Amino acid sequence: MPSHQQKLFWSQRRSCMIYSFLRRGVFTLLILLAAGSVCAAGEPTELIRKATDGVIAILNDPSLKGPDKTEEKVRKIREAVDKRFAWEEISKRTLARYWKERTPAERAEFIKLFGKLLERTYLDKVKEGYSGEKVLYVDEKVEGRYGRVRVMIVTKQNTEIPVEYRMLKKGDNWLIYDISIEGVSLVNNYRKQFSHILSRSSYSELLERLRAKVEGTETID
Where residue 134 falls among pLDDT bands split at 50, 70, 90? Answer: confident
Tell me whether residue 101 is in a domain.
no
Where residue 138 falls among pLDDT bands split at 50, 70, 90? Answer: confident
State how far the Cα of 56 lies from the Cα of 59, in Å rounded to an integer: 5
For the cut 90, the answer to whether the pLDDT of residue 31 exceeds it is no
Query: CA nearest 109: which of 217, 27, 214?
Result: 214
Where residue 113 falls among pLDDT bands split at 50, 70, 90? Answer: very high
- Answer for the pair 212, 187: CB distance below 8 angstroms, yes or no: no
Tell me whether residue 57 is in a domain.
yes
For residue 10, CA distances in Å to 22, 162, 184 come to: 18, 18, 19
Where residue 221 falls among pLDDT bands split at 50, 70, 90? Answer: low
In this predicted structure, what is the pLDDT of residue 41? 54
Query: CA nearest 77: which of 139, 42, 27?
Result: 27
Tell me whether residue 109 is in a domain.
no
Buried b (16+ CB within 10 A) or exposed e, 44-71: bbebbbebbebbbebbeeeebeeeeeee
Tell me whether residue 91 is in a domain.
no
State how far the Cα of 94 lies from the Cα of 81, in Å rounded to an integer: 20
State how far the Cα of 136 lies from the Cα of 175, in Å rounded to an integer: 20
In this predicted structure, what is the pLDDT of residue 44? 86
Tell me whether residue 95 is in a domain.
no
In this predicted structure, what is the pLDDT of residue 50? 73
In this predicted structure, what is the pLDDT of residue 201? 93
Please give the full DSSP string across 60-101, using - where no structure is assigned: T-GGG-SGGGHHHHHHHHHHHHHTTB-HHHHHHHHHGGGGGG
Tell me whether residue 211 is in a domain.
no
- pLDDT by residue (tens digit) across 72-112? 888 888 887 788 889 999 999 999 999 999 999 999 999 99
Tell me whether residue 198 is in a domain.
no
- Which of the two residues, 24 and 135, has the higher pLDDT score? 135
Strand, helix or coil at 207?
A: helix
CB-based contacts of 87, cutoff 8 Å, min separation 6: 111, 114, 115
Tell me whether residue 104 is in a domain.
no
- pLDDT by residue (tens digit) across 152-191? 888 788 888 888 989 999 888 889 999 888 888 999 999 9
- Counting residues of the chain whose pLDDT is more than 70, the rounded percentage is 72
Strand, helix or coil at 184?
A: strand
- Cα end-to-end span (Å), the chain: 36
CATH number for the domain that contains residue 138:
3.10.450.50
Average pLDDT, the chain: 78
In total, how many domains does the chain have?
1
State how far the Cα of 77 lies from the Cα of 93, in Å rounded to an integer: 25
State how far the Cα of 213 lies from the Cα of 145, in Å rounded to an integer: 34
In this predicted structure, what is the pLDDT of residue 99? 97
Where residue 145 falls among pLDDT bands split at 50, 70, 90? Answer: very high
Structural domain that includes position 127: 3-84+118-193
Of 9-13, 91-95, 111-115, 200-204, the one with minimum mean pLDDT is: 9-13
